[in-house]
Amino acid sequence: MTSPDFDYIEQRMRAATAALNEAMESALQEMLRFQRANRPTEEEHRAFQEAALRGDLGDDMRTLARLVEAGEDDWDRIYSGESPNAGLLRGHLDRMVEEHRDEIVRAIEEDDDFDPTNPEPRPNR
């Protein structure tokens, strides 16, 4: 009976760990780039807050805007899910998806990198 080659196993584990760390760092950098590119301007942020306060976006969004205005919460925490009030977004997000369903479908269809049959992400180009 041959004994396991622990040096080989350790080498493979280190290589796998390094690959995982590299993939996680790459995903983090991509997420940060996406967040920077899609962050609303101050003017957009102010207009959104005002619309929410007026009730244009629904009662739950008005509640959230009031909490933000009072300094009891902030939109970044709410949208990231860190806020205990994040559940109040559900109705607004559901309405937005329904309202923009055609645009969402079109964007997915036109995205050459999106393949719902392949769970592996395509490499960056």
Write out pLDDT tens, residues 18-62.
Answer: 999 999 998 888 888 877 787 888 899 899 999 999 999 999 999
Q: How far apart are CA 37 and CA 118, in angstroms?
A: 26
Q: Is residue 12 located within the same domain as residue 46?
A: no
**Terminal Cα-to-Cα distance of the chain (whole angstroms):** 48
Nearest Cα residue to 53 out of 75, 69, 73, 74: 69
Domains in the chain, number: 2
| 119 has pLDDT over 70 | no
Q: Is residue 33 located within the same domain as residue 82?
A: no
Q: Is residue 73 located within the same domain as residue 102?
A: yes
| 123 has pLDDT over 70 | no
Residue 122 lies in a domain: no
Q: What is the DSSP letter of 104?
A: H
Q: What are the φ and ψ backbone dihedral angles of 58, each rounded to 5 degrees?
A: 105, 165
Q: Is residue 72 located within the same domain as residue 97?
A: yes
Q: Is residue 65 located within the same domain as residue 104?
A: yes
Q: What is the DSSP letter of 84?
A: T
Nearest Cα residue to 67 out of 81, 54, 78: 78
Q: Domain containing 31: what range?
A: 1-39
Q: For the whole model, what pTM was predicted?
A: 0.59
Q: How many CA atoms lie within 13 A of 9 on its CB side?
A: 4
88 touches 64 (CB < 8 A): yes
Q: What is the DSSP letter of 100?
A: T
What would the pLDDT profile of 66-100 be if each residue is shown by its tens digit?
Answer: 999 999 999 989 988 999 999 999 999 899 999 99
